[in-house]
Amino acid sequence: MQSLLGTKQQQVSTRAAARCAAVYDRPAGRLGFSLAKCRLLGSALQSRAARLRPLQSALQEISADVVIIGGGPAAHAAAVYLGRAELEPILFEGWMANGIAPGGQLTTTTYVENFPGFPEPILGGDLCDRFRQQSLTYGTKIYTETVTKLDLLGGSPFKMWTDSKAITANAVIIATGAAAKRLKIPGTDEETGFWNKGISACAVCDGSSPLFRNQPVGVIGGGDSAMEEAGFLARYASKVYVIHRFDYLEASKVMQKRARANPKIEIVWHHEVLEAYGKEDDDCLGGVVLRDNQTGKVRKLPLSGLFFAIGHAPATKFLGGQLELDEYGYIVTAPDSTATSIKGVFAAGDVQDRKWRQAITAAGSGCMAALEVERYLAEKENPGSRSFDDGGEVAPGANWGSSGTAAAGPSGQQVAVAS
């Protein structure tokens, strides 16, 4: 009976994964629709797994030197480094974790133009697909499952669980990212609205698009992030409206001063967005309906772009308070390090980066985490030894796959590593 249930679950998961993979093959205009279907499918599968779980007598037990939790650039950068160091990492990329497809926030954007190595714009989903393939090439085992529970306080080996597996690992890298906060405003969603068709949550990512050049755009928010986004957008847009529900700003004085001094930026005080509407001649954003919170008056504001700038929510709730977090919920790491408050647990990417939140900085911190894991595991195996000297160079004889050494390639051949 158990075998039959396991087979049926596997068949359903395989079909669902194939359908969700279509996200990466959709044209930009259909990306949001595909993600919506994946969300619905993810909910259905989770419900099915919940029904079948009581009938299973045991979870599959697996172990590894290092487990990576996450599926974005930080997770895959760490996986590539650790794979080339022959540590055979296991990566749990999640199944619609936080409502986002495997790959993280990049899967919710269209064209990426600021990631090195791509002279032509590349779809966010396609870039994530390449990350994933590179991780697989160098020996990472990837599971499209969500880690729902961890036991970190007991120390190494650490324990964690998904719906079907019980995992132990000597080291853990948490790279679960952070999702941009959005308001539930009609016309702003992926299914029927204008998300990725003029509506975004990252001005730095999307603000230079031809869609917004010399066009009026709006920013929702009143904090430092909103002021920074407005300043960036003012380089390209004809006008930037900062739409704020209060008659004061929460931003720092210096950020307020910069915004108010910019002739392209206009603050729309004590207003809220009621809905977004489209253009008559295409399916892109045409503007928003505003309501004055003091008078109740409703009016339309034509816009070609609308950007949410009300903060981000790091994916840290599943940690259950076991790691030190800052006041905003981000994992606290040591200065110039990815080490967390528990030895052997490391954090990389947006889950510990409240400031930059870019794909390239996430990838860089993933590299850092991988190198620190290598050092940690070597010291754990040989107490008293040091993997790196004070200058940060690799110790003689250490096979790190980092500066100045050789590492295993995809077929076991030795390949040079850039300094």
Cα end-to-end distance, the chain, whole Å: 55
Contact 277, 292 (CB under 8 A): no
Which residues pair with residue 150 across a beta bridge? 160
DSSP string, 337-355: S-B-SSTTEEE-GGGS-SS
Cβ atoms of 376 and 342 within 8 Å: the answer is no
Q: Is 202 a catalytic residue?
A: yes
- Supply the DSSP string of 130-184, one letter for each residue: HHHHHHHHTT-EEE-----EEE-TT-SSEEEE-SSEEEEEEEEEE---EEE----
| Residue of 218, 20, 202 whose CA lies nearest to 113 | 202
Q: Is 206 a catalytic residue?
A: yes
Task: For residue 404, list its beta bridge partners.
Answer: none
> Of 65, 126, 206, 350, which residue is the catalytic one?
206
Q: Is 368 helix (H, G, I), strand (E, B) or coil?
A: helix
Which of 20, 38, 128, 202 is flagged as catalytic?
202
Reported as type and span, the H/E element at residue 287 is strand 285-292
Any residues with CB less than 8 A from the CB of 317 and at least 6 apart, and which?
Answer: none
Q: CA–CA distance from 27 to each of 22, 76, 128, 280, 319 (Å)?
A: 10, 24, 15, 22, 36
Whether residue 89 has a cis bond before it, omega within 30° of 0 = no
Measure the CA–CA gap between 134 and 64, rounded to whole angstroms.
Answer: 20
**Catalytic residue among 205, 224, 350, 353, which?**
205
Q: Rounded CA gap, 27 and 47, in Å?
A: 30
HSE-up of residue 20 (Cα within 13 Å, Cβ side): 25
What amino acid positions are annotated as catalytic residues? 202, 205-206
